[in-house]
Amino acid sequence: MSKILKIHKLEKTYTSGSKKLTVLNDISFEVEKGNTFSIVGPSGSGKTTLLGLCAGLDRPDSGAIELCGTPLQDLNEDQLAQLRNKEVGFIFQNFQLLPTLNALENVSVPLELQGAKNATKVAMELLDKVGLADRAHHYPSQLSGGEQQRVALARAFSNRPSILFADEPTGNLDEETGEKVVKLLFELNQEAGTTLVIVTHDLELANRTQQILRLKGGKIIMNETTAVS
C-alpha cells in the first residue's frame, strides 16, 4: 500500500509577545492511502495544529510533510493552494459556512472559483447525497448544526479529494446527528476510497478508524493499529 501522508520530525512553536510555546515536538507518522486515521488527545495537546499542518493550511517551523507524493516544503503558497484544491477536503468543528450564501451556493461557489463548469449541478447532487436536497435554498442560520455540518461535508467533498481532514466533525452535534455525519464520512471512505484523517475526542469514533495517533503535550505517546484494519 502507498502512503498518502508522510510526516517527519515536525516542530511547531507559537509566539505570543515574548513567550514561545512549542505545541508540536518531534512528530513523525504515516497514513496509508485509503485508510481511516484518527488523532486523539487532551485539549491543548496540539491536534488541531497538527491537522492544519498536514492539510497545508499552515507551515511547520521544521520537519517535512509529504502529501499525495508532494513535499509541501517545496511548494510556494500558490502551488500549495492548487494542491489543496485538487487533493484536499477540510471540515471544521464550527462548520465555517459563509452566512450570506445558501446551502447550495456554499457548495457550488468554491467549485465555480476552481473553474468547474457544472458547479450548481454537482453541488445539488452532493447535497442530495448528504440528504439535504430539500434544504438547498436555506441559509446557514436556517439550518440545524447537523444540517450545517452535512453542507460542510458536501463542500469538503465537492472537489473529490483524495484525503479529507475533519477537525472534531461531531464536536458540536448531539449523538444521533453526529452519527449521521460519521456514517457519511465512512461511506465516502468506502465508496470513493477517500482517506480520512479525523481529530476527535470521541474514543468510540476513533476505535472505528484503522489507526489511532494519541498526542499529549505536543508529542506522540501512542500510534496504534486498531482491530478494524
The answer to whether residues 102 and 137 touch, using CB atoms and an 8 Å cutoff, is yes
* CB-nearer residue toward ligand ADP: 33 or 201: 201
Pick left, alpha or beta for residue 32 (phi over 0 → left; psi -120 to 50 → alpha; otherwise beta). beta
* Residue of 2, 16, 76, 141 interacting with ligand ADP (CB under 6 A): 16
**Distance, CA of 123 to chain centre:** 19
Which residue, 45 or 159, is less far from ligand ADP as judged by CB?
45
Separation CA 73–CA 63 (nearest Å):
9
**203 is an interface residue for ligand ADP by CB under 6 A:** no
Answer for the pair 166, 185: CB distance below 8 angstroms, yes or no. yes
* Least distance (Å) between residue 12 CB and ligand ADP: 8
Shortest separation between residue 201's beta carbon and ligand ADP, angstroms? 9
Do 106 and 151 meet the contact criterion of CB atoms below 8 Å apart? yes
Tell me, by CB under 6 A, how many residues bind ligand ADP: 12
* Minimum CB distance to ligand ADP, residue 120 (Å): 35
Which residue stretch of 1-9, 13-21, 70-78, 131-139 sits at the interface with ligand ADP (rule: CB under 6 A)?
13-21
The single residue listed with the C-alpha cell 462548520 is: 95
User: Which positions ≥6 away from 108 have C-beta within 8 Å?
Assistant: 119, 120, 122, 123, 158
CA 145 to chain centre: 18
- Of 28-36, 37-45, 107-115, 145-153: span binding ligand ADP (CB under 6 A): 37-45
Looking only at residues 150 through 189 of this chain, which bind ligand ADP when binding is defined by CB under 6 A? none
* CB of 41 or CB of 178, closer to ligand ADP: 41
Looking at residues 39 to 78 of the shown chain, list those that interact with ligand ADP (rule: CB under 6 A).
41, 43-49
Say how many residues make up the chain.
229
Contact residues toward ligand ADP (CB under 6 A) are 14, 16, 21, 23, 41, 43-49
